[in-house]
Structure 1
Amino acid sequence: MTTDSEIPEERRFRFPTAFTILFGLIVVVAALTWVIPAGQYERVQNAALNREVPVAGTYAVTEAAPQGIFDVIIAPIGGFYNPATNVANAIDVALFVLVIGGFIGVVTATGAINAGIERAMTKLHGREKWMIPLLMALFAFGGTTYGMAEETLAFYMLLIPIMIAARYDAVTAVAIILLGAGVGVLGSTVNAFATVIASDAAGVPFTQGLVLRLVILGLTWLACVAYVMRYAEKVRLDPSKSLVYDMKSDNEKHFLSTHHEGTAFTTTHKFVLAIFGLTFIVMIWGVLKGGWWMGEMSGLFLASAIVVGFVARTGEKNFTDTFVNGARDLLGVALIIGLARGIVVVMDAGKITDTILHWTELSVAGLGKVAFINVMYWLQVLLSFFVPSSSGLAVLSMPIMAPVADFAGVSRSLVVTAYQSANGLVNLINPTFAVVMGALAIGRVPYERWLRFMWPLLVILTVIIMASLSIATIIA
Structure 2
Amino acid sequence: MERNQLKKSRSFVMPDAFIIIFSIVTIAALATYFIPAGSYERETVDDITKVVPGSFSTTESNPASILDLFSSIQLGMIESAGIIFLIFTIGGIIHIIESTGAINSGINTLIEKTKGRYMLLIATVSGIFGVLASMGIAANAVIAFVPIGIALARSLKLDAIVGVATVYLGYYSGMIAGIFDPTILGLAQTIAELPLFSGMPLRIVLFLALITITITYTNWYAKRIKNNPEKSYMGSKPFGSLAEKADVKEDTSRITGRQQFILLTFIIFIIGFIYGAFQYGWGINELSGIFLMMGIVIAFIARISPNEFVHKFIEGAKAIAYGALVVGLARAVIVLLNEGAILDTIVHYALVPLELTSVFIGAQLLYVFNLLFNLLVTSGTGQAAIIMPLMVPIVDLLGITRQTGALILMLGDGFTNIITPTSGVLMAVLAVGGINWIKWVRFAFPLLIMWMIVGAIAIAYAVLTGYGPF
TM-score by length of 2: 0.92
1:42-57 → structure 2 map (5 Å cutoff): 42-49=41-48, 51=49, 53-57=50-54
User: Are the aligned partners of 2:415 and 2:448 in contact in 1 as well (CA < 8 Å)?
Assistant: yes
Q: Match for 2:181 among 184, 191, 212?
A: 191
Equivalents in 1 of 2:3, 2:127: separation in Å?
A: 45
Structure-1 residue corresponding to 2:126: 136
Change (3 A) 1:68 1:144: farther
Structure-1 residue corresponding to 2:62: 65
* Cα displacement (A) at 1:344: 1.0
Structure-2 residue corresponding to 1:209: 199
1:86-235 → structure 2 map (5 Å cutoff): 89-146=79-136, 148-235=138-225
Task: Name the SS for the 2:158 alignment partner.
Answer: coil
Equivalents in 1 of 2:423, 2:305: separation in Å?
A: 39
Q: Match for 2:76 among 56, 76, 79?
A: 79
Change (3 A) 1:342 1:251: closer
Task: Name the SS for the 1:146 alignment partner.
Answer: coil
* Partner AA of 2:16 in structure 1: T
* Partner AA of 1:208 in structure 2: S
Residue 310 in structure 1 maps to residue 310 in structure 2: no
Equivalents in 1 of 2:220, 2:3: separation in Å?
A: 32
* Cα displacement (A) at 1:143: 2.6
Equivalents in 1 of 2:160, 2:8: separation in Å?
A: 24
* Partner AA of 2:54 in structure 1: G
Q: Deviations over 1:69-99 (max 9, x none)?
A: 2212122222243xxxxxxx32222222221
* Cα displacement (A) at 1:288: 2.2
Structure-2 residue corresponding to 1:369: 359
User: Are the aligned partners of 2:38 and 2:341 in contact in 1 as well (CA < 8 Å)?
Assistant: yes
Change (3 A) 1:168 1:370: same
User: Are the aligned partners of 2:84 and 2:428 in contact in 1 as well (CA < 8 Å)?
Assistant: no
User: Are the aligned partners of 2:35 and 2:342 in contact in 1 as well (CA < 8 Å)?
Assistant: yes
Q: Match for 1:300 among 275, 278, 290?
A: 290
Q: Deviations over 1:417-448 (max 9, x none)?
A: 01110111110111111222232233333333
User: Are the aligned partners of 2:320 and 2:434 in contact in 1 as well (CA < 8 Å)?
Assistant: no
Task: Name the SS for the 1:44 alignment partner.
Answer: strand
Q: Deviations over 1:51-82 (max 9, x none)?
A: 2x21111111111011112212122222243x
Equivalents in 1 of 2:82, 2:343: separation in Å?
A: 24
Comparing 339-348 and 286-295, the one that deviates more: 286-295
Structure-1 residue corresponding to 2:38: 39
* Partner AA of 1:199 in structure 2: Q
* Partner AA of 1:475 in structure 2: T
Residue 326 in structure 1 maps to residue 323 in structure 2: no
Change (3 A) 1:251 1:41: closer
Task: Name the SS for the 2:336 alignment partner.
Answer: helix
Structure-1 residue corresponding to 2:29: 30
* Partner AA of 1:30 in structure 2: A
Equivalents in 2 of 1:185, 1:3: separation in Å?
A: 53
Structure-1 residue corresponding to 2:269: 279
* Partner AA of 1:151 in structure 2: A
1:382-421 → structure 2 map (5 Å cutoff): 382-421=372-411
Residue 467 in structure 1 maps to residue 464 in structure 2: no
* Cα displacement (A) at 1:233: 1.5
Equivalents in 1 of 2:240, 2:351: separation in Å?
A: 48
Change (3 A) 1:253 1:55: same
* Cα displacement (A) at 1:251: 5.2
User: Are the aligned partners of 2:83 and 2:424 in contact in 1 as well (CA < 8 Å)?
Assistant: no
Equivalents in 1 of 2:301, 2:93: separation in Å?
A: 14
Equivalents in 2 of 1:199, 1:300: separation in Å?
A: 32
Residue 429 in structure 1 maps to residue 428 in structure 2: no
Equivalents in 2 of 1:252, 1:102: separation in Å?
A: 12
Task: Name the SS for the 1:56 alignment partner.
Answer: coil
Change (3 A) 1:119 1:144: closer
* Partner AA of 1:458 in structure 2: L
Structure 2 portions without partners, runs of 5+: none
User: Are the aligned partners of 1:137 and 1:180 in contact in 2 as well (CA < 8 Å)?
Assistant: yes
* Cα displacement (A) at 1:402: 1.3
* Cα displacement (A) at 1:174: 1.5
* Cα displacement (A) at 1:348: 0.8
* Cα displacement (A) at 1:357: 0.7
Provide the aligned C-alpha RMSD in A: 2.5
Identity, % of aligned positions: 28
* Cα displacement (A) at 1:195: 0.6
Task: Name the SS for the 1:115 alignment partner.
Answer: helix
Q: Deviations over 1:155-214 (max 9, x none)?
A: 222321221211221111121122112222221122222111111122322333322222
How many residues align? The count is 464
User: Are the aligned partners of 1:164 and 1:254 in contact in 2 as well (CA < 8 Å)?
Assistant: no
Change (3 A) 1:146 1:331: same
Equivalents in 2 of 1:43, 1:429: separation in Å?
A: 30
Residue 448 in structure 1 maps to residue 445 in structure 2: no
TM-score by length of 1: 0.91
Task: Name the SS for the 1:273 alignment partner.
Answer: helix
* Partner AA of 2:42 in structure 1: R
Comparing 231-240 and 59-68, the one that deviates more: 231-240
